[in-house]
Amino acid sequence: MTIYTQKPIGLLGGTFDPIHHGHLRLALELYERLELAEVRLIPAASPPHRESPMVSASLRLQMVQAAIQGVTGLTADARELHRPGPSYMVDTLTSFRQDYPQRPLCLILGLDAFTSLPSWHQWERLITLAHLLIVRRIGTLLPEIHQVRDFLAAHQCYDSADLTTQLAGRIWVEDIPPLTISATQIRDLISTGRNPRYLLPATVLEIINTYQLYRQKTALESKSSDLATPSHLD
């Protein structure tokens, strides 16, 4: 059996509509705790499991890039923007595996996402392409749904060295103290004229203000605001 000793790359997909300090703390905590090579933040162009994002993929990528500028260990990855159709994670992992044939990969998933994994496109292939790094809020119970529980039991590992010595195939559960911030909360604050400052980086807020993002509640109206002339700065 081949033993791999390269640090794994962490992969955090999301809508990032917009990116906020909850995402960023999560990525940084995992980078440091699990000694990852880096954590890639991957904005979904067209997320298959939820309604359309409010803001174009290119602006969401721009916000991610602004949020992580100068931060060691965090990088932005644009590959889902270059792929038409739904942004299936199995396609993203396949693309990473082609780029990094000898590198352990860790797909980062919140417990909610992990619990609904069987609804994902070709979900059983994910673990053949990467490890799964499940983030559990302290005090939360692991899923009791049979299919997910059995899947976890079959793959869970208890020595984080396994994430380094194998390319894929293991599940690691990490307890992270929660930051109760969501993109929904930020969009709601902005659309009702309130100030989301301190929930997200100032550089991201600057982009939001420049392009007047999230001022309306619906994606259709906001799409046109993507094209608005930059104007207002806080």
Q: Which residues bind ligand ATP (CB under 6 A)?
A: 14-17, 22-23, 26, 109-110, 113, 178-179, 181-184
Closest contact distance (angstroms) between CB of 229 and ligand ATP is 26
**Cβ closest to ligand ATP, residue 21 vs residue 155:** 21
Buried b (16+ CB within 10 A) or exposed e, 56-68: bbebbbbbbbbbb
Q: What is the DSSP letter of 53?
A: P
Closest contact distance (angstroms) between CB of 193 and ligand ATP is 19
Q: Which of 44, 17, 63, 43 is nearest to 201 (CA)?
A: 63
Closest contact distance (angstroms) between CB of 29 and ligand ATP is 9
Asked if 46 and 187 count as a contact pair (C-beta separation under 8 A), the reply is no
**Backbone dihedral angles phi then psi of residue 18, each to the nearest 5 degrees:** -105, 170
**Cβ closest to ligand ATP, residue 4 vs residue 223:** 223
Closest contact distance (angstroms) between CB of 169 and ligand ATP is 21
Closest contact distance (angstroms) between CB of 4 and ligand ATP is 25
**Cβ closest to ligand ATP, residue 195 vs residue 229:** 195
Closest contact distance (angstroms) between CB of 187 and ligand ATP is 7
**Cβ closest to ligand ATP, residue 135 vs residue 168:** 135
**Cβ closest to ligand ATP, residue 138 vs residue 161:** 138
DSSP class per residue in 109-147: EEHHHHHTGGGSTTHHHHHHHSEEEEEEETTPPPP--HH
**Cβ closest to ligand ATP, residue 4 vs residue 173:** 173
Q: What is the DSSP letter of 80?
A: G
Buried b (16+ CB within 10 A) or exposed e, 114-128: bbebeebeebeebbe
Please give the residue whose beta carbon sits closest to ligand ATP in the complex.
22
Instruction: Detail the DSSP E strand segments found in the chain.
Output: 9-14, 38-43, 74-76, 105-110, 131-137, 171-176
